[in-house]
Amino acid sequence: MKQKRSSLMHSENLFGWAFIAPIMLIFLGLTAFPFFFSLFLSFVEWSFFSGLEKLKYVGLDNFSELLGNAYFWDSLGNTFIYVITIVPLSIILSLVFADQMNDKVYGKKYIRMMYFVPYVSAIVAVGAVFKMLFRTDGIINGFLANLNLIGKPIAWLADDRYAKIPIILLSIWSSIGYQMILLTAALQNVPVELYEAARMDGANGLKQFCHVTVPMISPTIFYLLITRTMAVFKIFSSVNVMTLNMPSSASRSIVVLIYEKAFTKYQFGLASAMSFILFIIILIVTGLNFLGQKKWVHY
């Protein structure tokens, strides 16, 4: 009897390993191996076209070189600006729209669909629309001129003072639909009794939103905060599309700089060192968010 049970458990284990084998192979081949190989490359000087025989170990030289690299610090600063503007603004706008769409609104299914379309659209197509809007003779400049807010057209993508604005707006607009869907689902799970109790205590609409709605959906907000922060730290397509592969120091993100070093100048060691630094930064910021969530996230 014991031998039969042991044979059955062995057979079940084999079936289990057979089911997880494909995803494990994908994880090892597309995630684990690239991560550790990139970490290894951060300590060497190597070009993909020179072959493994010309791989040269340089220790921490790649990291020390980055400390004096102005392009690296500019790109890192730009990335932090993208994070502290795109993440909170996109979540706040998504929450406001989701709260409005959660009420009785005529045609809200179609309105939600319109908000969601930019998220599923190709970033190249969305970027092309924004580039037309922010041309010197585009709609944005025309609108601002009609309001007498500008004297002459602004070269949004060419002027370093304004280059980040179209990229930030593009990233916010393209992400609102997805975030709004998640927040709407969270709002529909808030008990109606809580709003009724708040109204009986004399709470107006704003107080109900701040003290009932936000605390009850705070786990969803926290999830979006974590995922959006990681995504914006890795912002690439929006910058690349809007600047036609030629970003200035005022708009270049750290991932765009990594791409340039790796696939334009073939400095894979330096690019891998920047990738590892970005990984550490994302890890630290995510850890701080998890520590801080105990004070405002209600489960």
pLDDT by residue, tens only, the chain of 299 residues? 555 556 655 667 787 788 888 889 998 888 899 999 999 999 998 877 777 777 889 989 999 999 989 999 999 999 999 999 999 999 999 999 888 887 766 777 777 788 788 888 888 888 888 888 998 888 999 999 888 888 888 988 888 889 899 999 999 999 998 999 899 989 988 888 988 888 888 888 888 888 899 999 999 999 999 999 999 999 998 898 888 766 678 889 999 999 999 988 889 999 999 999 999 999 999 999 999 988 888 87
3-state secondary structure of 56: strand
Rounded-to-integer distance, Cα 288 and Cα 299, Å: 19
3-state secondary structure of 264: coil
Name the nearest CA neighbour of 131 among 30, 42, 245.
245
3-state secondary structure of 265: coil
- Do 261 and 278 form a contact (C-beta atoms < 8 A)? no
Beta bridge partners of 56: 45
- Do 171 and 232 form a contact (C-beta atoms < 8 A)? yes
3-state secondary structure of 155: coil
Question: Which tokens belong to 25?
Answer: 């192979």
Please report, as a single letter, which amino acid is at residue 151. Answer: G
pTM listed for this prediction: 0.89
What does R_g of the chain's alpha carbons equal in angstroms? 25
Which residue carries 């458990």 as its tokens? 9
Q: How many residues does the chain have?
A: 299
Name the nearest CA neighbour of 155 among 135, 139, 138, 169.
135
Secondary element (H or E) of residue 149? none
